[in-house]
Structure 1
Amino acid sequence: MAASAEHLKALVRAHAEADDDRFYSIALQVAAKSARQGHGKFAVELRELVESMRQRGAKTIGAVGPTPVVQPRGELSSLLTAWYPDIRLDDMTLATELRASLDRVLHEQRQRARLERFGFTPVHRILHSGPPGTGKSMTAAALAGELSLPLFTIRLDGLISRFMGETASKLRLVFDAVAQTRAVYLFDEFDALGAQRAVGNDVGEARRILNSFLLFLDEAPSESLVVAATNHHEILDRALFRRFDLVIAYEAPTPDQAVEVMRRRLAGMDTSAVRWPSVTERVAGLSHAELVKAAESAAKQAILGGADVIDDRLLLDALSERHALHNA
């Protein structure tokens, strides 16, 4: 039987308490477990039944249109922030291989039902790894935008407690939300949670917290995307890399990509006077975020000077400023 004894008891309790959201959440957990066990047809049918019941309930109370972002309440309000991103992958400057990996994620998510009918699950657990400012968090927002899903960002300052039991309990709340509400869930600065179990003063506590995360990640349903982003992949516990469906590496932009980043940000300005080869020579070592800041600084200087024209001097001065801050 796909449902465990604990699942069945939890379903009965949720029904007795008239807690529909909890009932549907548990049913989706049963569906996810069934899919992992090879019962793809049953998993799809159960998910479709849950979705049908949810929609029927929404119509009963007069709900129309897309499901709004429900702001987290209670203890979840200190753990999650939620919004609907309007950014798309085409708005970003991405390396060819990186874009191909993200297109694969979107394709599999959009064909989720078809995959699950054959006992397979789409990519839904992703690790973004790379230097700061290279677009890891923005990509999570773009995936949410492409799939018309809300983005829930996990606030690690609220999640991590000095008491292991509290942190594990808060993780359970977050992953209950993953099962209950289809969305993109972003664990930013993930190394704060996923560092090697040998790192830190209390090895036993770190191991228990990470083991809890690994367990919850394994059980995460494929309807939602769980995205972890880290600037320090070298300190992550090795067990994490095996649990993610896809690990995507981010790097500083090439000179051509750097120029494209600045051109995009300056699309509303007159850049006809810019000699881009001279700019290209000054972009090495800067991240996407730093290049955007440099472009914005040059644009503001031009606007406050009474013009909408960007020239070499403004851009080169702004890039020099970013290099000084980068090397400080």
Structure 2
Amino acid sequence: MSKTDEISQIEDDFATLAALAVGPTPESVRLMLAKLVRRYRITHPALAGRLGDALRTSQTRTAGHAVLRKASTSLMGNEDQLPVDADSRNSLIRIFDDLGGLDAPLLTPELQQGIDAIVRERKNRKRLESHGIPPTRSAILVGPPGVGKTLSARWIAFQLGKPLWVLDLTTVMSSLLGKTGSNLRAVFDHAKANEAILLLDEVDAIAKRRSDEADVGELKRLVTAILQEVDAWPATGLLLAATNHPELVDPALWRRFDHTFRFDTPVPELTEAAIRRFFRGSQEAFEEVIPLLSLALEGVSLSDVEKVVASLRRRALLENTDPVDLAMPLATEFAHKLDKKQRLVLALRLAKSLLPHETIRALTGVSRDTIRKYAGPSPVRAGRERRNEWQLDSS
């Protein structure tokens, strides 16, 4: 955001705040203040702190939940009517609004087919219901961190033309256990009333096995409450859940969800596709090392792949370093884990990508004579002019 746009945003926010201050509903002022605290917490922490102090000293407490549970239109729009914790006044829901555009998640064909089926059912919900067929109401996404669970949930919401609401565990999990149940009910009630797409991220934190002796009775009752809410979830909305630790989730919860989607570490084809996507405008400069990187990053989560690619792009631009030289340490680390036969297979695969034989020999330890025997003569290095062009374009 430019400085001019930032100033304009601040002016609009405080003009709205002034209009609410002279209006008939003081609680709207509190809601607006809560929104401004969230908005400026990073960019203007001092301002956010002063607004937070004003919010905490306010004595307007009584009308909060009544106002929040209504779906009527206000000056601030739907975001400001989201449920909040009664004590901290922090929102119980985080919002991903990707309606301006979103890249599709990189998924296996099986997973993509399942995700597309949910979108298709939700878009044709009324047609299904007219034939007495209920659409998918819920799904749970299971897999290690960084493999696309949250992005897939965002993609579903984007395809359906809605923002994604995410349960904010840090706010919902109150230090007062009884308040956690109230916060959860407020979130579910509000989501159902607005036909929302709601994601229970890290659901294992609030739906742990009730057989766990380490948990107190209040937390076990919380699991029962969640099960009841999932059972009562209407077909008008879509309920999603995600977990990195399926072994911690209460078995009864699995039966409540219509579908289970399992995300695994990416297959090599997805890794290479991710690398090409994350390089974006500088892909051409790195073209000859992309096969190297896809091998070196095999089995790594896509979020970590993105971090590696971003680091390589920064270094190539700022240090004026050859992309091959940047990629070599990663690839060498990978190659050292292979046995002799696997290194030969790797060498021949790299030869097909037109990487020079001397580079392949340094990487794999396979002699140039052996590479030449199976793959033919070494290609001529190319692409340095492309790198120069990329550096000019990126500056």
* Separation in 1, partners of 2:211, 2:318: 53
Q: How many equivalent pairs are there?
A: 265
Q: Distance in 2 between matches of 1:20 and 1:292?
A: 42
Q: 2:82 aligns with which of 53, 72, 83?
A: 72
Give the Cα–Cα distance (whole angstroms) in 2 for the partners of residues 208 and 223 of structure 1: 27
**8 Å Cα contact 2:267-2:299 kept in structure 1:** no
Question: Distance in 2 between the 1:275 and 1:127 partners?
Answer: 37
Q: Which residue of the other structure, out of 179, 197, 220, is the alignment partner of 1:166?
A: 179
Q: Distance in 2 between matches of 1:71 and 1:23?
A: 8
Other-structure match for 1:110: 123
Q: Which residues of 2 match residues 39-50 of structure 1 at below 5 A?
A: none
Contact 2:195 2:236 (8 Å CA) reproduced: yes
Alignment counterpart, residue 258 of structure 2, candidates 234, 237, 245: 245
2:307 counterpart of 1:293 = yes
For 1:14-33, what aligned pairs fall within 5 Å after superposition? Answer: none
- Partner amino acid, structure 2, of 1:275: V
Which amino acid letter does the alignment assign opposite residue 283 of structure 1? L
- CA RMSD of the aligned region, Å? 3.0
| Cα contact 2:69–2:83 (8 A) shared by 1 | no
Q: Answer yes or no: is the 8 Å Cα contact 1:154–1:187 preserved in 2.
A: yes
Residue in structure 2 matched with residue 276 of structure 1 by the alignment: 290
Q: Are residue 313 (structure 1) and residue 325 (structure 2) matched?
A: yes
Distance 1:180 1:169 in 2: 16
Q: What's the offset of the Cα at 1:225?
A: 1.7
How far did 1:124 drift?
A: 2.3
Larger radius of gyration: 2
Q: Structure 1 residue 216: deviation in Å?
A: 0.8
Relative to structure 1, is the Cα distance of residues 172 and 62 closer, same or farther in structure 2, using a 3 angstrom cutoff? closer
The TM-score normalised by the length of structure 1 is 0.72
Segment drifting more, 129-138 vs 115-124: 115-124
SS of 1:221's equivalent in the other structure is coil
Task: Give the corresponding residue for 1:204.
Answer: 217
- Shift, 1:83, TM fit: 3.6
Instruction: State the shift of 1:321 in Å.
Output: 9.7
Could you say which residue in structure 1 is the equivalent of 2:207? Answer: 194
- 1:200–1:78 CA distance, 2 compared to 1 (3 A): farther
8 Å contact kept, 2:143–2:263: yes
Q: Following TM superposition, by how much is the alpha carbon of 1:106 offset from its aligned partner in structure 2, in angstroms? A: 0.1
When normalised by structure 2's length, the TM-score is: 0.60
Query: Where does the alignment leave 5 or more consecutive residues of structure 2 unmatched?
Result: 1-65, 335-395
Supply the distance in 2 between the matched residues of 1:218 and 1:88 (Cα, whole angstroms): 33
Amino acid at match of 2:326: L
Structure 1 residues 247, 87: CA separation in 2 closer, same or farther (over 3 Å shift)? farther
- Paired residue type of 2:172: L
Q: What residue is the counterpart of 1:11 in the other structure? A: none
Contact 2:83–2:92 (8 Å) recurs in 1: no
Q: Quick one: which of 98, 101, 119 aligns to 2:111?
A: 98
> Structure 1's 188 and 139: CA in aligned 2 closer, same or farther, altered over 3 A?
same
Partner Cα distance (2:82, 2:331) in 1: 40
The 1:166–1:320 alpha-carbon spacing in structure 2 relative to 1, beyond 3 Å, is farther
How far residue 21 of structure 1 moved from its aligned partner, in angstroms, is 8.5
Q: Which runs of 5+ in 1 are unaligned?
A: 1-18, 25-56, 323-328
- How much has 1:317 moved relative to structure 2? 4.4
Deviation at 1:320, TM superposition (A): 8.2
- Residue 215 to residue 273, structure 1, CA distance change in 2 (3 Å): closer
Task: Give 2:188's aligned amino acid.
Answer: F
The equivalent position to 2:267 in structure 1, one of 254, 257, 260, is 254
Give the Cα separation in 2 of the matches to 1:87 and 1:62: 22
| CA-CA distance at 1:274 after TM superposition | 2.1
Structure 1 residues 186 and 150: alpha-carbon distance in aligned structure 2, compared to 1, 3 A threshold: same
On the 8 A contact 1:189/1:230 being kept in 2, the answer is: yes
- Residue type of the alignment partner of 1:207: K
In structure 1, the partner of 2:376 is none
Determine the C-alpha separation between the residues in 1 that align with 2:328 and 2:130: 56
1:223 equivalent in alignment to 2:233 = no
Q: 3-state SS of the aligned residue for 1:293?
A: helix
Are the aligned partners of 2:202 and 2:242 in contact in 1 as well (CA < 8 Å)?
yes
Counterpart CA distance in 2 for 1:320 and 1:180 is 55
Post-superposition CA distance 1:54-100 (Å, at most 9, x none): xxx87xx999xxx8644625437431122411487863211010000
Task: Name the SS for the 1:227 alignment partner.
Answer: strand
